[in-house]
Amino acid sequence: MTPANESTAAPAVDVKQLVADNDLGGRSPGPTVGLFLLCVALAWSLFQLWIASPLPFTFGVFVFNDTESRSIHLAFAVFLAYLSYPAFKRSPREHVPVTDWIMALVGAFCAAYLFLFYREIATRPGNPTDFDIATAVVGMVLLLEATRRVLGLPMVIVAVVFLTYTFGGRYMPDMIAHRGLSLNRTMSHQWLTTEGVFGVALGVSSSFIFLFVLFGSLLDKAGAGNYFIKSAFALLGHMRGGPAKAAVLSSAATGIISGSSIANVVTTGTFTIPLMKRVGYRPDQAGAVEVSSSVNGQLMPPVMGAAAFLMVEYVGIPYIEVMKHAFLPAIISYMALLYIVHLEALKANMVGLPRRGTASGGSRLISYGLTISGFFVLCGAVYWGVGWIKDVAGDAAIWIIGAGLLAAYVALLWFGSQQPELPLDDPEAPVFELPETAPTVKSGLHYLLAVVVLIWCLMVEQMSPGLSAFWATMFIIFVMLTQKPIQAFFRGAGGLGAASKQGALDLIDGMAAGARNMIGIGVATAAAGIIVGTVSLTGIGLVMTEIVELLSGGNLMLMLCLVAVISLILGMGLPTTA
C-alpha cells in the first residue's frame, strides 16, 4: 500500500467519459440547449408519473391507454437519443448539428404516430395507407440509428438480421424457410400494431421500468448513493483489499435501489476504482471488480434490472416471485466476488486502510449482533403492528400508518442530524483513514424508509410493481423536498429557504437524470420488439423451439443448458433486455 500522505490517484479518463456518456450521451451542449434537454427529460418523468398515478382516472383528464403510452414513451426516448448522443466519435459534442435536430423531430413524430392518429388507425385495421407505411419505414430506420448511437452495432445487426429473414424467408434453409412477407405487411405488423416495436417489451419499459429507474435516480440524488458508499467503506475498508470489498458491498447496496448497471458504475465506480488502484490493484482488476459487482446489481431485489420485468410479462408470474428467486443467486454472486477480491489481496499482500476508534473486535461483534437482532425485532413489530392497526382501524388505518411513517421519518432525521454530515466523495482527494462506522451508518437511516415503502407495497400489500414504485417514488420526492430544511432546523444551522431551494433543485436534477438513464432502455426494448415481431409474424419461434427440443432429446436439464448457452452468446454483444 502506498504511504498515507500520498494523494489518491486521479480517476481514469474512461471513468470520467463514462459519467459524461451516462449523463448526456457524451454531448455537452451550450446552456440553452442543455436547459431544453433538461426540460424535455423532466417532462418525460412527469408524464410517466402521471400515467402511473390514479389521478387521470380520478379527474377523467389525460387518460392514455397502453398503446398511446408506449407511443409517447418511445417518442421521448428517440428524441432525447438523437439530441444527447453524437452520431460518431468525431462528431461535434459542443453543439447539436441541424441534422440531429431534424432526425430527432422526425423520429419523435414517427414514434408518436400511433398516439397522434390512434382513432384513424383503429378504424382501418390491416388496411394501412401509403402514408402509414412511409411513416413506419422512416420510423424503423431512425429507431435503428438511435439504437446504434445509444447501444452500438450489435443490437442493430441482430434486428437487421431478423428483418432480412422476414423479407427473404424463401431463400433460407428448409428448416427455417417461409414464403417471405411484403413490405406493407411487415411494416404494418412491426409499427402499426402492438405485436412489434410497440409490443410487450416497450410496454414493460413504459409501465414498470421507468418508475423503478426514476426511483433509484431520485434516491441517489437525495444522498443515498453517497451514504451507501461511505457505509461500505466504514464497514469493510480496514480489511485486506478493503476498498475492493467496499466496492462490492457498495455496488450491492446501490443495486438495491437501482436496476441500471451503468448508473451503478457511475455512482460507485468514480470513487472506488481510483481507490482500488491506490491500494495496489491493477487498473484492469479495479475495473473488472467494479463492473462485475455493478452488473450483479441487476439481480439484487427489490429494484432489479429491466429484464426482470420482461420476465414478469412474458412468463406471466408475479414480480414478487422473481424477487424471491433472485435474492439467493444475488447474495451468492456477491459472496463469490468478495472471496475473489480477498484472494487477490492476499496474493498482492495488501493491507487495509486505517480506521478510527479503539473498540475491540469483540465489542464490535457484539454491537453488530445487537444491531441485526434489533433490526429483525423492529421488522416483526412493524409487520404485526400494522396488521393490528388495519384490523382495528379499518378504513382509517391508512391515515394512522401514514402518520406513523411520517413520525419515523422525522425521528430518523433528528437521529441522523446528531451525527456529522457526510461529505460528498471526491475521487481525487487523499484518503488517510476510514470514516467512523457508527456515526456514518446512523447519519442516513432515513433513506432506508423509501426502500421499506417499496418492499412493503410489493410484498405485504401485494400491489402491482408499477403502483408500488409510484408510491415509493412519491415518498422519496417528499424526502428530497423536506430532508435538507428539517436537518438544518435540527442542527440549528439556519438557512431553511436555501436548504428548501437546494432540495427542489436536487429533485429536478434527479428526475431529469432518471429520464436520461431510460434513453438506452427505451430504444433497446423498442428494438427488441423488432425481434419479437419477426418471431410472431414468421413463426420462427416454433421452429427454434423444435430445434432446441430436437438437440436436447426432450431432456429438461440439457434444454436449460442449451438455452443458457444461447443466452450467453447473445449476451456478449447485446443488452440484457434484448
- Tell which residue, 115, 111, 113, has the closest CA to residue 68: 115
Of 478, 497, 520, the residue that ends a domain is 520
- Domain membership of residue 64 as a residue range: 13-195
Asked whether residue 562 is domain-assigned, the answer is: no
Q: Phi and psi (nearest 5°) for 434?
A: -80, 155
Q: Which set of grid coordinates corresponds to residue 259?
A: 436496476
Q: How far from chain centre, in Å, is Cα 373?
A: 31
Of 520, 553, 572, the residue that ends a domain is 520
- Tell which residue, 416, 385, 417, has the closest CA to residue 400: 385
- Write out pLDDT tens, residues 244-296: 777 777 777 776 666 666 666 666 666 677 777 766 778 888 788 877 877 77
Same domain, 358 and 501: yes
Q: Which set of grid coordinates corresponds to residue 140?
A: 424503423
Q: Give the pLDDT band of residue 557 (cuts 50, 70, 90).
A: confident
Same domain, 264 and 411: yes
Same domain, 513 and 497: yes
Asked whether residue 552 is domain-assigned, the answer is: no
Q: Among all chains, which residue has been given the C-alpha cell 455496488?
A: 251
Same domain, 95 and 150: yes
- Rounded distance, CA 308 to CA 319, Å? 8
- Write out pLDDT tens, residues 74-92: 999 999 999 999 988 888 8
Same domain, 143 and 184: yes
Q: Which set of grid coordinates corresponds to residue 93?
A: 459534442
- Rounded distance, CA 435 to CA 441, Å? 10
- Write out pLDDT tens, residues 460-478: 787 888 888 899 999 999 9
Asked whether residue 557 is domain-assigned, the answer is: no
| Cβ–Cβ under 8 Å, residues 193 and 200 | no
Of 175, 195, 215, the residue that ends a domain is 195
Measured distance between the N- and C-terminal CA atoms of the chain, rounded to whole angstroms: 42
- Tell which residue, 511, 522, 525, has the closest CA to residue 79: 522
DSSP assignment, residue 45?
A: H
- CA 108-112-117 angle, to 5 degrees, is 140
Q: Which of 14-23, 26-35, 278-287, 341-350 is predicted least confidently?
A: 14-23
pTM of the full structure: 0.82
Asked whether residue 578 is domain-assigned, the answer is: no
**pLDDT of 6 strictly over 70:** no
Same domain, 185 and 321: no
Same domain, 221 and 142: no
Asked whether residue 560 is domain-assigned, the answer is: no
- Tell which residue, 5, 57, 76, has the closest CA to residue 515: 76
| Cβ–Cβ under 8 Å, residues 452 and 468 | no
Same domain, 482 and 411: yes
Asked whether residue 397 is domain-assigned, the answer is: yes
Same domain, 104 and 228: no
Same domain, 99 and 115: yes
Asked whether residue 4 is domain-assigned, the answer is: no
Q: Is 132 helix (H, G, I), strand (E, B) or coil?
A: helix
- Rounded distance, CA 40 to CA 24, Å? 13
- Tell which residue, 247, 211, 171, has the closest CA to residue 44: 211
| Cβ–Cβ under 8 Å, residues 436 and 367 | no
**pLDDT reported for residue 23:** 44
Same domain, 365 and 267: yes
**Total tally of structural domains belonging to the chain:** 2
Same domain, 165 and 268: no
Q: Which amino acid is at 38?
A: L
Label each residue of 212-256 as H, E or C.
Answer: HHHHHHHHHHHCHHHHHHHHHHHHHCCCCCHHHHHHHHHHHHHHH
Residue 495's region, left for phi above 0, alpha for psi from -120 to 50, else beta, is: left
* Percentage, residues of the chain above pLDDT 70: 85
**pLDDT reported for residue 267:** 60
